[in-house]
Amino acid sequence: MQSENRIFDDFVKVMNGAAGTLAGMTREAEGAFRERMREWIGGLDMVSRDEFEALKAIAVAAREENQLLKARIDALEAGGSGAANASGPGA
């Protein structure tokens, strides 16, 4: 009976050691993976959030200016075509 307990105790010790080794390997693999991802992402030419927000504000301002200029052109065209019609050959 005592010998069966020893075998079981040895088996438990081996399994605990294997579990600890596996956990350590998992942590090491995760750390290596995270480091590789940081290197890969760091190598990409990405825009920071601040730069994105600044460009977004510029785009909004440009769109507003574009709308104002379009309205101005439409008003000038409307005024120019009315004058052209008044001084046309039928006048």
Per-residue pLDDT reduced to its tens digit, 43-87: 788 888 999 999 999 999 999 999 999 999 999 999 876 555 555
Same domain, 61 and 24: no
12/36 same-domain check: yes
SS3 labels along 51-89? HHHHHHHHHHHHHHHHHHHHHHHHHHHHHHHHHHHHCCC
51 and 91 in a single domain? The answer is yes
Are 12 and 32 in the same domain? yes
Q: What is the pLDDT of residue 91?
A: 43
- CA–CA gap between residue 24 and residue 74 (Å, rounded): 71
CA angle, 30 then 41 then 36, to 5°:
30
pTM assigned to the model: 0.41
Number of structural domains (the chain) is 2
pLDDT of residue 51: 93
The predicted pLDDT at position 28 comes to 95
Structural domain of 34:
1-45
pLDDT tens, residue by residue, 6-53: 888 888 999 999 999 999 999 999 999 999 998 888 878 888 899 999
- Write down the pLDDT at residue 7: 87
**Residue 28 shares a structural domain with residue 41:** yes
- Tell me, yes or no, whether 41 and 5 share the same domain: yes
36 and 76 together in one domain: no
pLDDT of residue 89 exceeding 60, the answer is no
